[in-house]
Amino acid sequence: MKTLALFRHAKSDWSDARARDFDRPLNERGQRGALAMGEHVRDSGRRFDRVIASPAVRVAETIEWASKAWNRVFPVEWDRRIYLASSATLMDLLRELPGDPGSVLMIGHNPGLEDLIFDLVPDDGSSPLRDVVEAKFPTATFAVLELDVARWADVDANCARLVDLTRPRDLDPALGPQPHG
């Protein structure tokens, strides 16, 4: 059994239309969301043997803000392949993990993270939280999957159960969807 936690970067700032996508920082709501999710993960007592992340600015800042809540800095392995990766690329990355850690935290982007959940978790009703992901996997969402594999090299479609899903709005309604107007 392996544990995979997925953490989508927090809300990014779109105010500078000239900024490259890779270089977009978090906005103020994103900072609050990353901090709140960091507190949630800290309070859950979850530990990770390895943390791998996209090197995009919004991911690095998500980790920075979440780490403030965790009150510790995690050694992060930056992997550019995670940046805007497809589910297939993310699955390959998991299969290639050296050292066969028991638990991994991957921090990255949609649609890749969401699609990875759809590929790993069967659509058979065994993981009711999968329906929540189908509705939306918003920024700063944290998901935990249990994979029925002995080694990461064995990761394949339909090998997981989605056992926990926390969205920022679950922690603070002010971090949920904002009314347009």
* CATH number for position 48: 3.40.50.1240
Q: Which helix (H) or strand (E) holds 95?
A: helix 87-95
11 assigned to some structural domain? yes
Query: For residue 19, what pLDDT is reported?
Result: 78
Residue carrying structure tokens 């064995």 = 154
Q: What angle do CA 94, 55, 37 make, to 5 degrees?
A: 80
In the chain, the number of structural domains is 1
**Confidence at residue 179, expressed as pLDDT on a 0 to 100 scale:** 65
pLDDT confidence of residue 173: 84
pLDDT of residue 163: 95
Determine the pLDDT at residue 138.
94
The pLDDT of residue 89 is 98
Q: What is the pTM of this model?
A: 0.95
pLDDT in tens, the chain (181 residues): 999 999 999 999 888 777 789 999 999 999 999 999 999 999 999 999 999 999 999 999 999 999 998 877 778 999 999 999 999 999 999 999 999 999 999 999 999 999 999 999 999 988 889 988 988 899 999 999 999 999 999 999 999 999 999 999 999 888 887 765 4
Domain contains 127: yes
pLDDT of residue 135: 87
**Residue 139 domain-assigned?**
yes
Q: Which residues, 6+ apart, have CB-to-CB distance to 85 below 8 Å? A: 54, 93, 108, 109, 112
- Taking the C-alpha atoms of residue 113 and residue 6, their distance in angstroms, rounded to an integer, is 7
Does any domain span residue 19? yes
The span from the CA of 31 to the CA of 12, in Å, is 9
pLDDT at residue 51, rounded to an integer = 96
Q: At 112, phi and psi to the nearest 5?
A: -55, -50
| Per-residue confidence (pLDDT) for residue 126, from 0 to 100 | 84
In a domain, 26, yes or no: yes
Could you tell me if residue 178 is inside a domain? no
Classify residue 180: in a domain, yes or no. no
Q: Does residue 73 sit within a domain?
A: yes
Region of 77 please: left (phi>0), alpha (psi -120 to 50) or beta.
Answer: beta
Domain span at 21: 2-173
